[in-house]
Structure 1
Amino acid sequence: MGNPYDPYGQQPGYGQQQPGYGQQPPAQPGYGQQPGQPGYGQPPAQPGYGQQPPAQPGYGQPPAQPGYGQPPAQPGYGAPPGSPPAQAGYQEVHHHHYGSTGQLAEWGSRAGGYIIDYLIAGAPFFVLYLIGAMLSSSGSGGAAAIGALFVLIGAAVYFGLLLWIIYQEGTTGQSIGKRQMGIRLVSAQTGQPIGFGMAFLRKIAHFLDGLVCYLGFLWPLWDDRKQTFADKVCNTIVVRN
């Protein structure tokens, strides 16, 4: 005769005690359940006396941060992406194009640098031209030939120094005169030196500045970008260092 307390009809083993009167038999795991798991419809085991439940984040506390080396969480499907980085505003572009201080050179600084450059290029020519003129006026044929040679040498020195000044302006933005006055010639579009070719073209375009009573050289006095006619043709500006 089977034990009524044994759902499987098994008899207690040797030495095992039978449940006393009024006592419930030990719970047997249900079909398909593993030992130690709660049965169907039974609540999970609660923590024992003195044990703390798993900590939940309090109200207003930030969620846990990702560990070292872990990438940040990506936005879920349909979530708007983060704001793109701010675009450079007009002031930043203006600042980039107009040099480190963002200030255009004044007319007095430009005129001072121009005078210094042409004194450097013109002074040797002027000295050699005077010597040649004095020799040519002596009356002798040999002296006149030597005088003409001095004039040619002076002209060659002048154009050589002028090309060197243009090269310095185009590659570095500063000739000796501009360096002494603390100003720099740059492209109005990129803010960088314009190169030898464009600087040479700008020097030729100064012809427009002197075409009508040298009005183009005075134009920076009231122009909003302080440009001469040559600057407008070549899209250049002169800025302070």
Structure 2
Amino acid sequence: MTYPRPEGPPGYPTPQQETWPSYPPHHPTYPRYAEQYASYAAWLPRAEAFFLDCLINFGPMWVLMGVGYAIDEQSSGDSGEVPASIVSWVGILAMLVAVVLQLIREGRTGQTVGKAFFAIRAVRDSDGLAPGVGLALSRRLCQFLNWPVFGLGWWWAIWDTKKQTFADKITGVVVVGADVEPARQPAVGGW
């Protein structure tokens, strides 16, 4: 026994027609940011920005620890230990605050104070946007991998096509000129 195939409402395809429209994929692939812009930051401005950031982050700590050492050396006996310790701990606290503020700034804008002074910024290679605090922290932690073998990871940016260090390659970040604007992003969903 065979049953008749039901007919749908007017305007709907019948089972024999099977002509459903094809829709484009939900997430089209966009060209990578780094392929759109050739304004990668040169090695020297990157090195100068890194040096300036080190001075900003660690300079107050070095100065205050030096002052604490001088206080301890000039005092006789144990009388200078407490003030010297307090000054040194204030220096360590100042360093921690500077490092955290620089990290937040780089995550939100792509620029630390040193990068802003030398007109460069770090962006995600995939879409050209600021890296975000989590990716900026990951990049900072991966920068320790640049130091082994005579700092090869830092020197790598001299001859690399995208001017990336090892940490940049691992985290998917490129450093570009600050005047380079991110690519326009199409609206998601097409509404």
Q: TM-score surpassing 0.5?
A: yes
* 2:46 aligns with one of 97, 100, 110: 110
Matched residue, 2:62: 126
Partner secondary structure for residue 40 of structure 2: coil
Partner secondary structure for residue 190 of structure 1: coil
Matched residue, 2:159: 222
Largest Rg, 1 or 2: 1
* 1:240 aligns with one of 145, 153, 177: 177
Question: Which 5+ residue runs of structure 1 have no aligned equivalent?
Answer: 1-91
Relative contact order, CA 8 A, sep 6+: which one is greater?
Answer: 2
What is the deviation of 1:212?
Answer: 2.1
Matched residue, 1:57: none
Which amino acid letter does the alignment assign opposite residue 214 of structure 1?
G
Which amino acid letter does the alignment assign opposite residue 152 of structure 2?
L
Matched residue, 1:205: 142
- Distance in 1 separating the partners of 2:66 and 2:153: 31
Instruction: Report matched runs for 1:1-241 at 5 Å.
Output: 93=31, 97-98=33-34, 102-137=38-73, 138-241=75-178
What is the deviation of 1:100?
Answer: 8.5
The Cα RMSD (Å) is: 2.2
Checking the alignment, whether the CA contact within 8 Å between 2:61 and 2:95 is kept in structure 1 is yes
Rate the CA distance shift 1:139–1:211 in 2: closer, same or farther, 3 A.
Answer: farther
Checking the alignment, whether the CA contact within 8 Å between 2:34 and 2:162 is kept in structure 1 is no
Partner secondary structure for residue 99 of structure 2: helix
Partner secondary structure for residue 93 of structure 1: coil
- Distance in 1 separating the partners of 2:157 and 2:151: 12
What is the deviation of 1:93?
Answer: 3.1
Higher helix share: 2
Structure 1 ranges of 4+ moved more than 4 A = none
Partner secondary structure for residue 56 of structure 2: helix
Checking the alignment, whether the CA contact within 8 Å between 2:142 and 2:170 is kept in structure 1 is yes
The TM-score with structure 2 as length reference comes to 0.72
- Distance in 1 separating the partners of 2:76 and 2:158: 50
Which amino acid letter does the alignment assign opposite residue 183 of structure 1?
I
Checking the alignment, whether the CA contact within 8 Å between 2:162 and 2:174 is kept in structure 1 is yes
Rate the CA distance shift 1:163–1:153 in 2: closer, same or farther, 3 A.
Answer: same
Rate the CA distance shift 1:139–1:177 in 2: closer, same or farther, 3 A.
Answer: same
Partner secondary structure for residue 176 of structure 2: strand
Percent of aligned pairs with the same amino acid: 30
- Distance in 1 separating the partners of 2:112 and 2:36: 18
Partner secondary structure for residue 127 of structure 2: coil
Partner secondary structure for residue 191 of structure 1: coil
Partner secondary structure for residue 237 of structure 1: strand
Which amino acid letter does the alignment assign opposite residue 194 of structure 1?
P
